[in-house]
C-alpha cells in the first residue's frame, strides 16, 4: 500500500511540480486585479478583461489558464468593486477561483491616491485520478476529487497616479491542502506575497513615445524568489511593443494595440531559459480589455496600466 501511495505521489508531483503556486502571467501589469484587490476601480471606468494562456506548448499536462474579470468605481464614492474567475488546468487537475474584490481609496497628494482592498475567494478543485494511470485504479486511496470547495481571503494596498504605481498584496491568507490522504499533503496551496511597481516615462516633448518599465516580485515559502521585469514602449498611445524577463526562467516578447478608445488587445510569447525549453515550444498569452466611459466615450486622464 505504501509503495502504491508513493508511486501516486511521484506521478502527481511530476505534473503539478512544474506549475507555479498561483497562476502566472507575462502581462501582469494589465491583469493586476487577480493578485491585488486594491486595484478594483482604480482605472476610473467599468473595465472588462479576458485572458487565455497556454503554457509550455507540446508538454503533456502543461498548464492552461483562462481568466475573466470586471471592476469599476462606485459612482463618485471612494469605493471600487470587482469580480473575477480564474480557471487553471494542470495535468489531472482543474481548479476554479471565483473572487469578489472591494477597495477604498484616499487622496494622498495632488497626483497620488492610496487604495486598500480586500478579496474573498471560493476555490473549487477537481482531480481526475484516471489521467495519472495508477497501477490499481480501484484502490480506495486513489479517489477522484469532485468540486472540493475551500474559501479564502486576501488583501492588498495600491499607491498610484496616472503615471506610476506600487502595490503589495497577499491574495490568499489561508493555506489549503488540495489533496490530503490524512497522512500526506500531496499538494498544498501556500501563501503568495506580491510586490509590484511601474512607471511611465515620456521620451519626447510631444509625448508620442512612452517607456513603461515594470517589475513584479513573488515570494512563497519553499520556492525560489520569482522576479518578473518588463520594458514596454508605447507609440502615439496606440501601439505597444516590449520584452520581459522572468528571473532564471524565461524571456518574453509582448505587443499590444489600442484598437479603439475602449478596446485594447495584447499578446505575449514566452520562451524558457531552462532545460525545460527542450521539451516545449513556448507559451502563448492573449488578452482583451474593454472599458466603458461616462464622459464623451473617453477616459478623462489616460491610464497606461
Contact 153/174 with Cβ under 8 angstroms? Answer: yes
Please tell me the distance from the alpha carbon of residue 103 to that of residue 171, in angstroms, as a whole number. 13
pLDDT band at 5 (very low <50, low <70, confident <90, very high): very low
Is 4 a residue whose pLDDT tops 50? no
The predicted model gives 2-28 an average pLDDT of 55
| Portion of the chain with pLDDT greater than 70, in percent | 81
pTM metric for this prediction: 0.86
Is 134 a residue whose pLDDT tops 80? no
* CB contact set of 138 (below 8 Å; sequence gap of 6+): none
Q: What is the mean pLDDT of the chain?
A: 86
Q: What is the CATH number of domain 31-292?
A: 2.40.160.40
pLDDT tens digits, 53-111: 999 999 988 999 999 999 999 988 999 999 999 999 998 889 999 999 999 999 999 99
Please tell me the distance from the alpha carbon of residue 36 to that of residue 70, in angstroms, as a whole number. 13
Structure confidence at residue 142 (pLDDT): 58
Amino acid at each position: 500500500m505504501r509503495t502504491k501511495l508513493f508511486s501516486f505521489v511521484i506521478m502527481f508531483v511530476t505534473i503539478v511540480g512544474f506549475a507555479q503556486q498561483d497562476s502566472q502571467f507575462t502581462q501582469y501589469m494589465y491583469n493586476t486585479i487577480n493578485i491585488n484587490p486594491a486595484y478594483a476601480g482604480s482605472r476610473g471606468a467599468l473595465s472588462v478583461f479576458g485572458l487565455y494562456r497556454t503554457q509550455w506548448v507540446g508538454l503533456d499536462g502543461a498548464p492552461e489558464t483562462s481568466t475573466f474579470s470586471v471592476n469599476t468605481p462606485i459612482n463618485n464614492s471612494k469605493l471600487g468593486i470587482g469580480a473575477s474567475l480564474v480557471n487553471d488546468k494542470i495535468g489531472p487537475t482543474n481548479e476554479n477561483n471565483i473572487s469578489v474584490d472591494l477597495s477604498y481609496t484616499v487622496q494622498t497628494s495632488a497626483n497620488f491616491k492610496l487604495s486598500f482592498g480586500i478579496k474573498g475567494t471560493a476555490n473549487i478543485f477537481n482531480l481526475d485520478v484516471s489521467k495519472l494511470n495508477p497501477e490499481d485504479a480501484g484502490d480506495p486511496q486513489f479517489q477522484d476529487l469532485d468540486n472540493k470547495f475551500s474559501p479564502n481571503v486576501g488583501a492588498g494596498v495600491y499607491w498610484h497616479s496616472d503615471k506610476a504605481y506600487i502595490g503589495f498584496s497577499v491574495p490568499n491568507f489561508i493555506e489549503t491542502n488540495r489533496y490530503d490522504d490524512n497522512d500526506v499533503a500531496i499538494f498544498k496551496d501556500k501563501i503568495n506575497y506580491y510586490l509590484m511597481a511601474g512607471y511611465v516615462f515620456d521620451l519626447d516633448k510631444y509625448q508620442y513615445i512612452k517607456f513603461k518599465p515594470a517589475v513584479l516580485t513573488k515570494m512563497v515559502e519553499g520556492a525560489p524568489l520569482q522576479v518578473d521585469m518588463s520594458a514596454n514602449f508605447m507609440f502615439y498611445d496606440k501601439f505597444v511593443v516590449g520584452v520581459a524577463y522572468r528571473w532564471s526562467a524565461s524571456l518574453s516578447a509582448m505587443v499590444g494595440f489600442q484598437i479603439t478608445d475602449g478596446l485594447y488587445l495584447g499578446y505575449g510569447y514566452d520562451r524558457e531559459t531552462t532545460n525545460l525549453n527542450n521539451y516545449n515550444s513556448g507559451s502563448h498569452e492573449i488578452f482583451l480589455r474593454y472599458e466603458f466611459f461616462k464622459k464623451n466615450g473617453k477616459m478623462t486622464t489616460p491610464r497606461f496600466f
